[in-house]
Chains A and B, each alone.
Chain A
Amino acid sequence: MNGNSLKFYLGCGVALLAALLLLGSVQNEYVFFASYVVLQFIVLAIAWNILGGYAGYVNFGTSAFFALGGYSALFMIKAFAAPLVVQIIVAAMFTGVLGLGIGLLSLRLRGIFFSIATVAMAIICETIITNTEFLGGAKGVQMTRPDPIAPFTSYTKMLFFVMAIMTIAAIIIARYIENSWIGRGLRAIRDNEEAAECMGVPTLRLKLIATVISGALMGAAGAPFPMYMSFIEPVSAFSLNYSVSALAMPIIGGTSSWLGPVIGAVLLGTVQQLVTVTISSELNVLIVGVLLVFFVVAAPQGILGLFKKRAEAPKPAAGGAAK
């Protein structure tokens, strides 16, 4: 492990410790209720960025992956009374398979056509769920939370901690991809897919790896959602806000590395939470939209880009061992 990796994993440890400290010291439930949402957006933004940022395939259907994650969990609860961990795993597997389907679409569809297909996919998924009585149909399902598992004193706190762990896992996965042969190949695909393929990059396999991981992470982020709200119904689960935010956060933060989506999600997620409390949640999409336009125009490389320009040190060697 080199110095950078050591620092990175130390950072992950510190973040986890901070989450535990917060759990031990803060009593106000709202803190966890709100932080959960920010963490959830970090996972969504990182997941989106694996496909959208690294490979350049813009997914407009994040809401479908998120909602199907939640509905997979609901299914597991209703059918098997499965515990939270199982809900999350099944949700990730299911949306991973959905990701595979989206990945196969990329065989034929590039650019805006791929993006349009993801929108269509989201609409189809929402329609199916709305018409599935077992999953509550259009009116949704009310749920009662089980007791939290010790040592957690409330279910919200427990969900917060679970989401914190998922966030760190997502960051570790994204960083691994970025620094591996997979990430370098995806970058070549983003720059020019034909040239990448002709230069030996197995583009289809890499795109499928990206769509599956991205989809699975989105589904995992959505899995605890029914329990978090104690309720799930299609309109809010498939909310446009997830699709727009998951795309806006990496673009605002910077798409070149995992840190970009984290910065963007913390920033935008926090602003959204503040606006929801002080004004109204209706304003969220508007705020995201305005910030997105601002950044696309003023800082196309995102916040990361602004810093990188200042500290353009000699770059580390490109390439490395392929698998």
Chain B
Amino acid sequence: MSQSAGQILLKVDDVSKHFGGFTALSHVSVEVAQGERLGLIGPNGSGKTTLINCISGALKNDAGAIVFKGENLNGMPPHQRTRRGIARSFQIPRPFHSMTPVENLAVPLEYVTHRGAAHKADIRGEAESILSDMGLGDKMNAPCAGLSQVELRKLELARAMAARPALLISDEAMAGLSNAECDEVLAILFRLSDKGITIIMIEHIMHAIMRFSNRVICLDAGKLIAGGAPGEVVKNPDVQRAYLGA
């Protein structure tokens, strides 16, 4: 895909996170290569979103380091991490609800992609083209309040894309969607991957994880318990135990 494929883009190095006495992440280490499609699985409450929050900067990791493009991001606020190329979607969509989809995308376009440059018309044009790509072409100037669940998920991804990330983290973008809708979202993620964007996909839907990922890692109770090819990881007894309960 890209000439730099195989290079380490993101390194999560021995990261721990506690909430009071509760350990949400315990010594998690993982490396993500440029262009990779990494599946992140784990039962509810295993710390997937917490790990994403530590990577995006929404939470501060208590120990360890998040290293992106060779730079240690510890202590860096989220907006600066986004400017360095990390974008995420939220598990529960968080649109700017008083704005239209175009205006939603204008925020990262103005604050990240075209900081200090670009005219209003360019930004609008770019927002429209991303939204059309995502299949939201006919809704882009309507109020967000009228969007369906799947449209909100797409808007989450579209808005993250507007920041032109090197790494996109998708947090359960398919939860609660129908099979056809899942396929739509999956197709979008594949297209983004083809463009060279590194993607971490958090998902419960196994067939989506199996189809999408080059590699899968599994969190359980804040610990990484498995990692490897998708087929191997789902067969791993620890993973099966974590999912089925022991």
Contact = CB atoms under 8 A, between A and B. Distances in A.
Interface of A: 181, 184-185, 187-188, 190-192, 194-204, 315-323
Given A204-B77, A319-B124, A322-B116, A196 B100 contact: no
A134 B221 CA distance: 61
B124 to A, nearest CB: 4
B116 to A, nearest CB: 6
A120 B162 CA distance: 41
B111 A185 contact: yes
Interface string B108-122: 111110111111110
Contacts of A318: 99-100, 102-103, 106, 120, 123-124, 127
Contacts of B100: 315, 318
B64 to A, nearest CB: 21
B90 interface: yes
Contacts of A187: 96, 98-99
A198 B97 contact: no
Interface stretch (B28-36, B79-87, B172-180): B79-87
Contact of A188 (B82, B107, B114): B107
B154 interface: no
Interface of B: 56, 58, 77-79, 82-83, 87-88, 90, 94-100, 102-103, 106-112, 114-121, 123-124, 127, 141, 159, 162-163
A320 B124 CA distance: 9
B114 A198 contact: no
Contacts of A185: 107, 111
A317 B100 CA distance: 11
5 contacts: A188-B96, A200-B107, A318-B100, A322-B111, A323-B116
Contact of B94 (A192, A201, A316, A319): A192
Contacts of A197: 58, 77-79
A105 B232 CA distance: 50
B88 A198 contact: yes
A184 B87 CA distance: 20
Given A192-B94, A200-B163, A319-B107, 7 more contacts: A195-B96, A195-B159, A196-B107, A198-B58, A200-B108, A318-B103, A322-B111
Nearest to B82: A200
Contacts of B102: 318
A85 to B, nearest CB: 36
A181 B79 contact: no
B95 A192 contact: yes
A157 B116 CA distance: 45
A249 B117 CA distance: 37
A199 B117 contact: no
Nearest to B126: A319
Contact of B116 (A196, A199, A201, A321): A321
Contacts of B116: 321-323
A147 B48 CA distance: 71
